[in-house]
Amino acid sequence: MRLNELQAAMRAGILGEPTEALLAEIDGCGLASAARLRIHRNNTLFGLTEALRTSFPAVARLVGDRFFDFAADRFIRGAPPREPRLANYGAGFPAFLAGFEPARTLPYLPDIARLEWAVNLAYNAPDEAPLAPAALVDLAPDAYPRLRLALHSSCRLVRSGFPIKRIWLANRPGAETEGTIDLAEGGATLLVMRREFEVVLIEIEPAEHDFLASLRDGGTIETACTCALATDAAFDLAGLLARQFARGSFARAILPAP
């Protein structure tokens, strides 16, 4: 085998089962070749499972360590990392959980995972100075509708029909388990962002969510307002912008061409 073939065979043999051709390449040195290869499989799966546990601690606490290890094993074999930075591994885990038959009895679990992934991204986002309101003072009023505002790199929007903020708070590492949470008590619409060095979960109105989601997707202020007004006819743009500037939700203004 050429080096690339050997490495491809090892990759496949670590994430799945080794071929006879691969095992013939390995000197057992007193052990079965497969047992030697298994050391690397265990190292790989253990390291990646721990990386997922670090990024999804509430999911791990909700399902217990054994179930988490089982789910992580299935996920890792099907969707191994595509970049070397472990903190960036797990973007697909919430969607995986949504389709994971053994987890179906916990319908809120994928949403908790989406929230934890947003928290992880916010925690690790690149440093970026928030946009100061002064950046817009010279903007002519008639240019506002065509203005685009880029969200700060740490900002994420998460929405769920389940009370995910309460579930998350009760299942963070070290959290005391409080009484019970009624899954029917209502959903959550959250802006997740980093403030100083801690990640905060800010409850926002559905119209505010739709406005920010539109900006996130590259929409102008006008498009974003249309989205927000469709959700809430009493939507107040000035109040919303003031709140965002106070929070530091924006990173850049993309001014319309004159």
Partner 1 sequence: MTGIGLRFPHHDALLAAPAPVGWLEIHPENYFGGGRPRHCLERLSERYPLSLHGVGLSLGSAEGPDSAHLEKLRKLIDRFRPILVSEHVAWTAQGGIHLNDLLPLPYTAEALETLVANIDRTQDVLGRHILIENPSSYLSFTRSEMPEWDFIAAAVARSGCGLLLDLNNLYVSARNLGFDPDTYLAAMPGDAIGEIHLAGHAVRHIEAVELRIDDHGSAVDEAVWSLYRQLVRRIGPRPTLIEWDSRIPPLATLVGEAAKADAILAELAAEARHAAQ
Q: Which two tokens stand for residue 85?
A: 């930075």
Contact between 119 and partner 1 by CB under 8 A: the answer reads no
Residue 7 binds partner 1, judged by CB under 8 A: yes
Question: Which is nearest to 56 in space by CA: 81, 92, 82?
Answer: 92
Stretch that binds partner 1, among 124-132, 137-145, 163-171, 182-190 (CB under 8 A): 124-132
Asked if 80 touches partner 1 (CB under 8 A), the answer is yes
In the complex, the smallest distance separating the C-beta of residue 109 from partner 1, rounded to whole angstroms, is 25
Residues 6+ apart with CB under 8 A from 196: none
Cβ-based nearer residue to partner 1, 20 or 182? 20
Name the token pair of 61. 């606490």
For partner 1, which residue of 67, 77, 86, 135 counts as binding (CB under 8 A)? Answer: 86
Query: Quick one: tokens of 191?
Result: 């802006």
Closest CB 58 distance from partner 1, rounded Å:
19
Q: Which is nearer to partner 1, 44 or 226 (CB)?
A: 44
Size of the site for partner 1 (CB under 8 A): 48
Binding residue (CB under 8 A) for partner 1 from 72, 194, 204, 228: 194
Of 23-52, binders to partner 1 (CB under 8 A) are 24-27, 29-33, 35-37, 39-40, 43-44, 47-48, 51
Q: Is 6 helix (H, G, I), strand (E, B) or coil?
A: helix
123 binds partner 1 (CB under 8 A): yes
Q: Is 20 in the site for partner 1 (CB under 8 A)?
A: no
Supply the minimum distance, in Å, between the C-beta of residue 217 and partner 1: 23
Q: How far apart are the C-alpha atoms of 116 and 119, rounded to whole Å?
A: 5
How far apart CA 209 and CA 217 sit, in angstroms, is 12
- Return the structure tokens found at 107: 């319908």
CA distance 111 to 117: 10
Distance CA 169, CA 148 (A): 34
Helix or strand holding residue 156 (H, E):
strand 156-160
Interface with partner 1, residue 91, by CB under 8 A: no
Pairwise CA distance, residues 89 & 70, whole Å: 17
List binders of partner 1 among 137-156 (CB under 8 A): 153-154
Q: How far apart are alpha carbons 230 and 51 in whole angstroms?
A: 41
Site residues, partner 1 (CB under 8 A): 1-4, 6-8, 10-11, 14-15, 24-27, 29-33, 35-37, 39-40, 43-44, 47-48, 51, 80-87, 123-128, 153-154, 194, 197
